[in-house]
Chains A and B, each alone.
Chain A
Amino acid sequence: MDAVHEVLARSALVSLTATAIALLLGVPLGTWLALSRLRGRRLLATFVNTGMAVPTVVVGLLVALLLWRSGPLGNLELIYTLRGMIVAQVLIATPLIAGITMAGLQALPPELPDQLRALGAGRSQLIVRLWLEARVPLLAAAMAGFGHAVSEVGAATIVGGNIHGQTQVMTTSIVEQVGRGEFGEALVYAGVLLALAFAINALLTSVQQRAASWARS
């Protein structure tokens, strides 16, 4: 069995990388959905909201079919690799981040974008300022994305294969130990996973609540 710290480091690497990429994709997508008046925006918003509810095992299955050696993206050789697992987790976290970003920006006063433009904000200045105004929900989006990525087991198992020393992460390891009846070991891994989730979320929550309480003070 891999040492706990090695599996923990692998879990953190996969989930944090996936969350970072999902933020890079999801925040701009959510921003566009919140601000755009183009046709098709509502349909895409519906897809994003649906994506928030898709079971991770279904995402894992679809990604595995794409990355399978004989699949359309098989030549990338990502199946049973950490990079493949990151791809799956990005697909899981992105709709969640985009959906929360969209809702957070839409909760701002509707006249705010025009007020900022009237004050002379260029396009990028406007968007950055709206993100800062919606920083509390945007941090919630980051926390939700990370939480979803670090806790999912279906896609990690299907796409990563739970290969010891290579793609085994905390969640797949817990499932394996429970399958073998090693509940003590499973509880240790579960405790460590909870501690990781707690540490990351404590950091983000601290930033989020400081921002919220400052605005109220």
Chain B
Amino acid sequence: MGSVLKLRGIRHRRGGREVLQIDGLDVAAGERLAVLGPNGAGKTTLLRLMAGLEAPSAGTVELDGTRTVHADAELRRRIGYATQRAGLLSTSVQRNVELPLRWRGVGREARRTAALEALRRLGVEHLADRPAPALSGGEAQRVSLARALALEPRLLLLDEPAAGLDAEARRSFLDDLAALLADRSITVVHVSHRPDEALRLADRVAVLVEGAVRQLAEPPHVLREPSDATVARLVGYENVVRGRIAVDGQILLAGHPCGLRSDRPPGEVTVAAWATAVRLGPPKDGSLEATVEQVAAGPGRWEVVLAGDEALRAHLPLSEPPPAAGDRRSVSLDPALATLLAG
């Protein structure tokens, strides 16, 4: 399948500092690419370059083989762009959705139909006649997305579209967004700093750190084999700790075996483990031990903070009695839920 979007040799400077360095990045037709990165990683800048709103200091961004730099309105009209802030105009919801269609020369009846259909798909058709400034944050984001989708764009750019929504509104918004994208063949680039959001909607994930792509792979691969400690933390590993591979292949944390093994040569290693990988037991001689520092009830689990040989976080089933603060416990890691990082 051909590439809709091609980035080559991108170098972008701002305020005397290089904020993006991407040697090459292709997005295939119909692909959904998530760009995951912390705040300030250059995600929004990357989307602005893709949208042709900003020219890279060096390199090229091509949409269907045409450079987006200094793109005319005609090229930009193949792109739908939903930003962090809904950016709705002070007119009715329906007119907000219709306006970009009017700019594309769509006739009155066709744009009315397309606008109402897009609003219906996002579950906000009943708001069509309401003034956009009177909408709640969640409603406004849905209308903003409906406006982008109504264009049937060749490329849809989503800049943290669920930012600013409360947990319930975010969950519901993402459910609907996932369903909408699933039955369409739109090419999507979606940026987020939240791993759950990025991984859920993506065919591939590009992890962007300090303006550079650290890892580019399918979500399960990034989750199972993050390329380094920064990527591991970004995708949500609660525990990223330094350890050592012993001569017998055991992984030692703070000098004690932790239940993991490796066939790599002896030496330093970084271990990434989900909080659900941490198992607690009664103290034993020679085992890795920790003191329970905090215990809190979380969604469907006990969230435990451990201090001691290694500072770790553990998630324990709610069905089990929680440890008490101050308890001394032995600690081991479930190999199925932990991984060794390169370097």
Contact = CB atoms under 8 A, between A and B. Distances in A.
B76 interface: yes
Interface stretch (A4-12, A118-126, A174-182, A189-197): A118-126
A215 interface: yes
B48 interface: yes
Interface residues on B, range: 20 to 34
Contact of A125 (B103, B134, B151, B157): B103
Given A111-B87, A129-B89, A119 B53 contact: no
A211 B83 CA distance: 26
B90 interface: yes
B134 A216 contact: yes
Interface in B242-270: none
Nearest to B73: A122
Nearest to A118: B81
B41 to A, nearest CB: 19
Interface string B96-136: 00011001100000000000000000000000000101100
A109 interface: yes
Contacts of B288: none
A86 B133 CA distance: 40
A125 B99 CA distance: 10
A114 B53 contact: yes
Contacts of A58: none
Nearest to A114: B53
Contacts of A217: 131, 134
Contact of B85 (A109, A117, A121, A125): A109
The prevalent SS among residues of A at the interface is helix
A152 interface: no
Nearest to B102: A125
Contacts of A112: 87
A133 B89 contact: yes
Nearest to B71: A117
Given A109-B85, A115-B87, A120-B100, 16 more contacts: A111-B85, A114-B53, A115-B83, A118-B79, A119-B81, A119-B99, A120-B76, A121-B103, A125-B73, A129-B89, A129-B99, A132-B90, A132-B91, A211-B90, A214-B131, A215-B131
9 contacts: A115-B81, A117-B53, A117-B76, A119-B81, A120-B100, A120-B151, A121-B103, A133-B89, A216-B134
